[in-house]
Every structure is written in structure tokens, then in C-alpha cells.
Amino acid sequence: MALTSKHLHDALRTVQDPDLKKDLVTLGMVKDVVQSGDDVRLVIELTTPACPMKDKIREDIDGAVRAKAIEAGEPLGKLEIEFTADVRTANERTREGANPLPMVKNIIAVGAGKGGVGKSTVSANLAVGLARYGAKVGLLDGDIYGPSVPTLLGLADIPTAARGNMLLPFEVHGIKAMTLGKLVEPEKALVWRGPMAHGAFKQLATQTDWGALDYLIIDLPPGTGDVPLTMSQLLPLTGAVVVCTPQRVAQDDARRAVRMFQQLGIPILGVVENMSHFVGDDGKEYDLFGRGGAQSMAQEMGLPYLGGMPIHMQLRANSDAGTPLRNWETPALGRDIDALCQRLASQVSVQALGGFVQPTLSVR
Ligand code: ADP
């Protein structure tokens, strides 16, 4: 005798996805149960390849199946657990078809109350980081007044290309990217006014041949101007990330950005605290700007906190050089970006299930 399929499903029913707070069978995550003699192979489909809970889920499945074998008095040979991922769509309107980008599963805006807090840097690294996990990712430089994606991704020597009336995105560092910075003279980009800004953003978003994407990250201009309004009317947003530095004044600006997204009906996926502290050569940590400020703001406003990024010299250097993948050559930096990507991806998965669970993200 061996464990039956019912035994295995019963065991999997006791294992919860820690973010989604439901069991794997109910969530439809059990894709295959293959038995050969006493050996068992389980294929579990996650909602994102960047799932931060993969190890925990693996441990829980292992424990549950072994416990079930003991309870049933059946032998258990080799237990193999394989993970796949199918990123789910979080937006109602995407499902209903009123969407100019039907092949994009999740659109995530990254905003900030003011310039210089690292919004573009965070956007680019979230995009590249999610792609490193195996997701299909696009980055739209919506900062039409001061596009920085050409620098951040090193696009200077890459020619622009179009097919028919569609722009072909730049395919670099594992992602697809589009920016106005490669289409108009940099000085001209600064003078967009309301209707022009609307038109420029619309064209970039909808006349780029993105193809199928799991995540499209939109780097918004700082503050609360025309572009977020256009964006919210045009695209079915999954939600927004707000980047903030720890200082009190930065938080006040970030609060305004949060309220703007809320007024536009865009869920807040979380707050990122950039430049949270600085680690010296001696390994000592300096809280230059008052580490934890953005995290407290997130808590006060009842928003998920996605994590922080210290000031890293390598991050600045790799951003200036347009070589984001080199950030992962500095292990501490790579870990910080990966953690942000994982928490963001799980917030998107939570939204995909209707946003009915409160996040319980553990933070440092
Ligand atoms: P924003 O988009 O908010 O205006 P940027 O992303 O352009 O800000 O960042 C401003 C500058 O700060 C850039 O030179 C960037 O490389 C640098 N920077 C951002 N975050 C960090 C960080 N955590 N460590 C070091 N430099 C950073």
C-alpha cells in the first residue's frame, strides 16, 4: 500500500499560503500529484516566481505529507516538491476587457512626493529584480519631465525602433523598457503642459509593443501632477508603490502622494524607505536621515511596508553606469532589492485574490 491521492490532498489542505491565508488546495495551487510506488512528486503553482514564502511553503508541505503518512500508517519514499509560477491578474478591468494593454497582467505605478528620493532607481531595480526571478517585466518611464531611464538602463547607444505605428521597447537587462528620453531631445521633455503631458504618456504606454508581461512598472513623475491622473483614467492599475526617504519632510510629501493615489482609486501596494541608513567601511551603520521614518508613516497610514534600502555607493555607481544587474554583485544590495521585489510580488498576489487579506509582512 501507499498514500492515496486523497491522503495527499488532505495533507495539502492543511498547508496555507502565508500571504494569502488560504490553503493550497482551495487556492488551486496544486497542479499535479504524481505517485510512483512510495515516491511522491508534487507540482505547486505559485502566484509569482518572486514568492518570498517558497521555502516556508516547501517546509510546511514536507511536514504535512510526512505527518499524513505516519497518521495513515503508509510508507513514504522520496518526496519531491516542484514549484512553478503563474502570475495572476490583479485588476478587475483587465478581466473585463476595458483595457488598452490586455496582455499585461499587472500594472504597478511607482510614485514619490518629491524628486530625488530614488523613485526611478527603485523602479528600475524592482523591474530588473522581478525579471531575475523569471517574471516577464516592462518598465515604462512615465517621468516625462525628467526621464532618467536612459541613464539607469544605459540606453544611450541603442537605437529606437518601430514596427508600423508601434514603438518597440528596448530589451535590456532582462526587461523591456520605454522612455521619452530616447524619443525627444532631453531639453524639450521639460516643457510638457497638461494636454501634451497627457498625450505623451498615453502614447508611450499604449503605442509600445510590450507583448505579454507579468508586471509593467511605471516610474511616475514626482509629486501629484497630470500624469497620475491620465494614467489612472487610461490604465487598469494593480496598485502603487510610494518611495520615501526617512526624514519628516519627505514623509509629509509622501503622505500627499498616498492620498493622491487613494483619491484616484489606486490601491497602495506599499511604501519603500530609500536611503534608510548608511553602512560605513567599518561596518558601522549611520542613521543619516532618521531610519524608520517611512516605516512609521506606513504603519500610521495602515499601509504595507515593503522594506528599505540603505545608501549604497555601488547602487549609485551602477545607476550612473546603466548597469543595474551589477547591483547583485554586491550581496547586501542584491538581498535588499530581492526582498523588496518579493514583498511587492506578494502584495500583488494578495490584490489578485481580491485584496481580502491584510498583509502580515515581517520587517526588519
Ligand atoms: P528620483 O527618481 O526620486 O528623482 P533617482 O532615482 O533619480 O530619484 O535618484 C536620485 C539619485 O540618488 C541618483 O543619482 C541615484 O543613483 C541616487 N540614489 C538613489 N537611491 C540611492 C541609494 N539607496 N543609495 C545610493 N544612491 C542612491
List the CATH number of the domain containing 74.
Answer: 3.30.300.130
Pocket of ligand 1 (CB under 6 A): 112, 115-121, 148, 222, 274-275, 309, 311-312, 315-316, 319
Residues 259-274: what's their mean pLDDT?
92
Q: What is the pLDDT of residue 299?
A: 92
Q: Is the pLDDT of residue 56 over 70?
A: yes
Residues 131-152: what's their mean pLDDT?
94
Q: What is the pLDDT of residue 61?
A: 97
Q: Is the pLDDT of residue 188 over 80?
A: no
Ligand 1 atom nearest the C-alpha of 143 is 2
Identify the CA nearest to 79 among candidates 1, 19, 11.
Answer: 11
pLDDT confidence band for 14 (50 / 70 / 90): very high
Residues 284-302: what's their mean pLDDT?
85
Span from the CA of 181 to the centroid of ligand 1 (angstroms): 18
Do 142 and 73 sit in the same domain of this protein? no
Span from the CA of 121 to the centroid of ligand 1 (angstroms): 5
Q: What is the pTM of this model?
A: 0.88
Residue 223 lies in a domain: yes
Closest C-alpha residue for ligand 1 atom 14:
316
Residue 359 lies in a domain: no
Distance CA 327, CA 316 (A): 10
Sign of CA dihedral 184, 190, 193, 198: positive
Residues 236-251: what's their mean pLDDT?
91
**Which of 87, 120, 143 is the endpoint of a domain?**
87
Q: What is the pLDDT of residue 60?
A: 96
Read off the CATH number of the domain in which 213 is found. Answer: 3.40.50.300
5-12 and 54-72 helices, crossing angle to 10°: 130
Q: How many domains does the chain have?
A: 2
Q: Is the pLDDT of residue 99 over 60?
A: yes
Span from the CA of 140 to the centroid of ligand 1 (angstroms): 17
Closest C-alpha residue for ligand 1 atom 27:
316
Residue 304 lies in a domain: yes
Distance CA 183, CA 193 (A): 17
Span from the CA of 312 to the centroid of ligand 1 (angstroms): 10
Span from the CA of 168 to the centroid of ligand 1 (angstroms): 27
Do 109 and 159 sit in the same domain of this protein? yes
Residues 119-148: what's their mean pLDDT?
95
Q: What percent of the chain has pLDDT over 90?
A: 63
**Which of 70, 87, 104 is the endpoint of a domain?**
87
**Which of 46, 70, 87 is the endpoint of a domain?**
87
Q: Is the pLDDT of residue 94 over 80?
A: no
Do 128 and 256 sit in the same domain of this protein? yes
Do 230 and 293 sit in the same domain of this protein? yes
Residue 358 lies in a domain: no
Cα dihedral value 156, 158, 161, 166, nearest 10: -60
Mean pLDDT of the chain: 89
Identify the CA nearest to 178 among candidates 132, 135, 226, 216.
Answer: 216
Q: What is the pLDDT of residue 353?
A: 79
Per-residue cell: 291:
531610519
Do 287 and 248 sit in the same domain of this protein? yes
pLDDT greater at residue 22 or residue 356: 22
Q: What percent of the chain has pLDDT over 70?
A: 93
Ligand 1 atom nearest the C-alpha of 112 is 3
Span from the CA of 186 to the centroid of ligand 1 (angstroms): 19
Do 122 and 25 sit in the same domain of this protein? no
Ligand 1 atom nearest the C-alpha of 123 is 6
Dump pLDDT digits (tens) for 305-338.
999 999 999 999 999 999 999 999 999 999 999 9
Distance CA 215, CA 278 (A): 30
Q: Which residues contact 300 (CB under 8 A, 6 or more apart)?
A: none
Residues 156-169: what's their mean pLDDT?
92
Do 35 and 60 sit in the same domain of this protein? yes
Contact 26, 13 (CB under 8 A): yes
Residue 113 lies in a domain: yes
Q: What is the pLDDT of residue 15?
A: 96
Closest C-alpha residue for ligand 1 atom 6:
118
Q: Is the pLDDT of residue 359 over 80?
A: no
Closest C-alpha residue for ligand 1 atom 26:
316
Domain around 226: 93-352
Do 155 and 189 sit in the same domain of this protein? yes
pLDDT confidence band for 96 (50 / 70 / 90): low
Do 157 and 206 sit in the same domain of this protein? yes
Q: What is the pLDDT of residue 2?
A: 84
Span from the CA of 221 to the centroid of ligand 1 (angstroms): 14
Span from the CA of 86 to the centroid of ligand 1 (angstroms): 32
pLDDT confidence band for 190 (50 / 70 / 90): low
Do 167 and 55 sit in the same domain of this protein? no
Closest C-alpha residue for ligand 1 atom 9:
118
Mutate-to-test residue for ligand 1 from 220, 319, 327, highest number of ligand atoms within 8 A of CB: 319
Q: Is the pLDDT of residue 159 over 80?
A: yes
CA 94 to chain centre: 18
Residue 364 lies in a domain: no
Q: What is the pLDDT of residue 325?
A: 98
Span from the CA of 118 to the centroid of ligand 1 (angstroms): 4
Closest C-alpha residue for ligand 1 atom 12:
118
